[in-house]
Chains A and B, each alone.
Chain A
Amino acid sequence: MDAQTLVAGMEAGSIGRRALVQLASLRLTLAVIVLLAAGVIAAYFLHGATTWPVAIPLLLFAINLGAAVAVHPAFRRQAALLVFHLALIAIVLLVAAGRLTYLKGRLELAQGEAFAGRLTQAEQGPLHFGRLERAGFVNDGFSIHYAAGLRRGATRNHVSWTDAGGMMRSAVIGDNDPLLRAGYRFYTSFNKGFAPTFLWQPRGGRPEIGAVHLPAYPLHEYRQAQEWQPPGSATSLWIMLMFDEVVLDIGKATEFRLPETHSLVVRLNDVRHELQPGDALRLPDGVLTYQGLRSWMGYTVFHDFTLPWLLAACALAVASLGWHFWSKFSARPWDR
């Protein structure tokens, strides 16, 4: 290497070092905090645009923190401060990883129905390659207590599944207690209702069970009707549940339950049929037999592999910050 190349290399190194020092500036940290606050406020008021106004300041924040850790000698003297800043960087990176790989969705299952991996609504990160079908479970029914005034109490949902060893497992999930399956968390929701269940025998095909999830009850108490097509059929039906009794009495403590007596109105084109459990209805492409009424439960599903790491990084950040302040404050009384 000749002298000229060496000088050029040293100059480039010096420029790089100066840039790193500027990136590590405490004043830049303040500017980034202000930018992040502005991003959060923008995301708050611009509904739906929460990613970029927050992601860009967070990226700058991570760069600023990383440069500060690399440059400032204070971090080599104060281990707690170093750990705190490294934990903050880890939190930012984990949040980014979480946003790339998360899954959030909704599903509904009638009592006795197994979850086969199909969601009614979902949003996910671009790098989510999950296997929801591995997270199968069966909704075995639920109970919900209501205080007087229809104030919802605890939800207790019985679920069961087969584990990797082929053993049947069961659990009760509900408020604050999700079901954990294959890295996915399933939560009961306030959405639940009645599900008329049918046996559908298509002409020349195999029979299938189908359940109509009527609008949530008691939220849509007076709208217990739904359009529905039997599985694989092109025939569209309008189905309405009718009952006269008071299922959830607003005046006293009560439990969610199915109506004791009911009838089901099924309308095909302009023809109205009223069915009781066991009644069959001949359709152009098969026979529909009403089996009876069940309940359905709405679930939300969430997947984010970073959760335990994020918690660990947060715990480390708080512990190291406390350690840093403790050692700093105990070294010198405040009034000196």
Chain B
Amino acid sequence: MQQELLVLWTALVIYVCGGSIAVFGAVLGRRPERTVLGLLLAGLLLHTASIVLRWERLGHGPFVTMFEILSSNVWSLLLVFAVAYWRIRALRPAAAVVMPVLFVMMGWLLMTSPGEGHLPPTYHTVWLYIHIGFGKVFLGAVLVAVGIAGIVLLRATAFGAARFARLPGDAQLDELAFRFMAIGLIFETLMLVAGAIWAQDAWGRYWAWDPLETWAFLTWLCLAFALHARLAFKIAPRTGAWLILAVFVIAFLTFFGVPFVSTSPHKGAV
């Protein structure tokens, strides 16, 4: 376990270096994009190695304990963001918004016990991977939208307007952000459908309003509301940005908050 933790901590340090450079670059009006991308990829490589070592040791993926869930989500969110960062040059300054969010998750991960958990028998199914995979793409897409929304909101201040002046206009960024939200809607729908198929096989019901199901559906409704509101009211980019932040907060609480307030979310371990 020491080896996998050492590799993980090294990855986190590299992430923090990359994120800090992105934040300072934005503050100082510089664009150290290649360095940031290089550090993110190096961190991802080591993080992947850490997850593989743990998987090999325990015989199951990072699905059970809060440590594993946080670690795998930091990994998947960074992977989605790194791909978006690499492919869409215009959103690279969004790293200054996204990385601090991930710093919070990394800090939480460091404070969580890396102890082992027991993989419940109902988790031995391919639907686990499908359900979780869709969920990770969903949250990753919304996180990228949050980065763009953050830039739109920061540009409302004199400080932000000067730092992000070279980026496309708010209307264009708003359009890009909502395209990521649309991707998020599709993948959250797929996550809910895959989860329902798994629940039907594992617990004999496809939907039972358990805390995670309820909050995942509420997140879906909020996402649908945000997309529909943009269509129905032709809302301003800043209002759209606030809506995106609201959806992310609810999604984040669903993913990482509900397991704290409920004693029986999706356990199946009895």
Contact = CB atoms under 8 A, between A and B. Distances in A.
A334 B232 contact: no
B165 interface: no
B124 A26 contact: no
A147 interface: yes
Contacts of A304: 206
A297 interface: no
The interface size bin for chain A is 35 or more
A154 B228 CA distance: 45
Contacts of B124: 154, 175-176
Given A40-B221, A152-B270, A33 B228 contact: yes
Interface in B137-190: 168, 172, 175-176, 179, 182-183, 185-186, 189-190
Contacts of A163: none
B52 interface: no
A176 B118 contact: no
A224 to B, nearest CB: 19
A43 interface: yes
A51 B201 CA distance: 23
A26 B221 contact: no
B125 A318 contact: no
A155 interface: yes
A177 B201 contact: yes
Interface stretch (A243-251, A254-262, A272-280, A321-329): A321-329
B185 A30 contact: no
A198 to B, nearest CB: 30
Contacts of B172: 334-336
Given A30-B229, A41-B218, A190-B270, A335 B168 contact: yes
A214 interface: no
B253 interface: no
A40 B269 contact: no
Given A29-B228, A307-B206, A334-B179, A40 B214 contact: yes
Contacts of A178: 201, 204
B118 A151 contact: yes
B189 A321 contact: yes
A22 interface: no
A299 to B, nearest CB: 9
The interface size bin for chain B is 35 or more
Nearest to A174: B121
Nearest to B224: A33
A174 B204 CA distance: 11
B260 interface: no
A311 B197 CA distance: 8
Interface string A270-301: 00000000000000000000000000000011
Contacts of B168: 335
A315 B121 contact: no
A36 interface: yes
Nearest to A185: B204
B252 interface: no
A116 interface: no
A104 B222 contact: no
B185 A34 contact: no
A127 interface: no
B202 interface: yes
A307 B197 CA distance: 10
Given A33-B221, A33-B224, A187 B214 contact: no
A334 B202 contact: no
B121 A152 contact: yes
A310 B207 CA distance: 12
A314 B193 contact: yes
A153 B120 CA distance: 7
B218 A318 contact: no
Contacts of B205: 104, 302
A321 B228 CA distance: 13
B182 A30 contact: no
Given A175-B124, A335-B172, 20 more contacts: A27-B233, A29-B232, A33-B225, A37-B218, A40-B209, A40-B221, A44-B209, A50-B209, A154-B121, A155-B121, A175-B202, A176-B127, A176-B201, A185-B200, A314-B196, A322-B186, A325-B183, A329-B179, A334-B175, A335-B168
14 contacts: A29-B228, A43-B214, A44-B209, A154-B121, A174-B121, A175-B121, A175-B122, A177-B201, A185-B200, A302-B200, A321-B185, A321-B189, A335-B168, A336-B172
Nearest 8 A/B pairs, CB to CB: A26-B232, A175-B121, A151-B118, A187-B204, A300-B204, A334-B176, A176-B201, A314-B193
